[in-house]
Structure 1
């Protein structure tokens, strides 16, 4: 399986035309760019959020051009420390134009099976998937690009199902 880097995946945001959707299924992620800010948060220290600037700039640009960026975060309650930190930052993503919703894992439809081996994925313009692959510590190994119509259709179905059930960030009270 060929994997692209996170930087290559982020380049897809320069090419999509209408919509990008991210399904997040993990309660913990490991990202070198987040290690220091996350450790500061755990110690109760302030953050200038400068490490988020490249993503926020990208999101402001693409959403300012009228394209949509949405996420559903499927999370365990009570939250893991990482998800608590992520929740505390989500207002910044929203300010940049992302529409983020939360879905507690215990509220998932009974019997729901996630496609793509239960990995996270980005869906661009209902035609291209960037499926995240992670190591045992939650560090991103890369993303697999998939354009198979059956896989894309299943992810569209899951997206629509979960989006309808998920709670908007401003209304979500963990």
Structure 2
């Protein structure tokens, strides 16, 4: 399996035409550029959000051009410290144009099967998947590009179901 880097995956945001959707299934993401701000938050120190600027600038550019960027975050309740921090910083994502919804894991439909081995994924224009892969410590290894129509179709089905069940960020109260 060939993996592309996060930077290469981010280039996909420059090329899609209508909609990008992210399914997040993990309760912790060990992303190196977030470690300092996350530790600051854990210790009660506010962050200015500058660590998110490359992402939020990309999202603003994409959404200002009329494209949509959406996420559903499947989370365990009570939340891990990381998800609490993510919830506290989600307004920054939304101010950049993303639309984010939350769905507690215990409210998932019984028997729901997550495609691509239960990995997180980005779906671009209902045609291309960037499937996230992580090591045993939760570090991002990269993304696998998948264009198989049957896999994409299953992800579209799951996206539509979860989007309809999830609660918009401004209404979600952990």
Fold equivalence (TM over 0.5): yes
Work out whether residues 75 and 104 of structure 1, in 8 Å CA contact, stay in contact via their aligned partners in 2: yes
Report what 2:98 is aligned to.
Answer: 98
Query: Aligned-pair distance for 1:46?
Result: 1.7
Q: How many Å separate the matches in 1 of 2:49 and 2:166?
A: 27
Task: Name the SS of the counterpart of 1:69 in structure 2.
Answer: strand
TM superposition outliers: structure 1 runs of 4+ over 3 Å: none
Query: Aligned-pair distance for 1:138?
Result: 1.1
Work out whether residues 74 and 103 of structure 2, in 8 Å CA contact, stay in contact via their aligned partners in 1: yes
**What RMSD, in angstroms, separates the aligned Cα atoms of the two structures?**
0.5
TM-score (norm. length: structure 1): 0.99
Query: Aligned-pair distance for 1:45?
Result: 0.8
Query: Aligned-pair distance for 1:38?
Result: 0.4
User: Gaps (5+ residues) in structure 2?
Assistant: none
Report what 2:21 is aligned to.
Answer: 21
Q: How many Å separate the matches in 1 of 2:162 and 2:8?
A: 27
Query: Does residue 79 of the first structure (1) align with residue 79 of the second (2)?
Result: yes
Q: How many Å separate the matches in 1 of 2:128 and 2:37?
A: 31
TM-score (norm. length: structure 2): 0.99
Report what 2:89 is aligned to.
Answer: 89
Task: Name the SS of the counterpart of 1:77 in structure 2.
Answer: coil
Residues 111-151 of structure 1: CA distance to partner in whole angstroms, max 9, x if unpaired?
A: 00101000000000000000000011211000000000000
Task: Name the SS of the counterpart of 2:101 in structure 1.
Answer: strand
Q: How many Å separate the matches in 1 of 2:33 and 2:5?
A: 14
Query: Aligned-pair distance for 1:49?
Result: 1.2
Report what 1:118 is aligned to.
Answer: 118
Query: Aligned-pair distance for 1:168?
Result: 0.3
Q: How many Å separate the matches in 2 of 1:125 and 1:111?
A: 27
Q: How many Å separate the matches in 1 of 2:164 and 2:82?
A: 25
User: Gaps (5+ residues) in structure 1?
Assistant: none
Q: How many Å separate the matches in 1 of 2:49 and 2:91?
A: 12
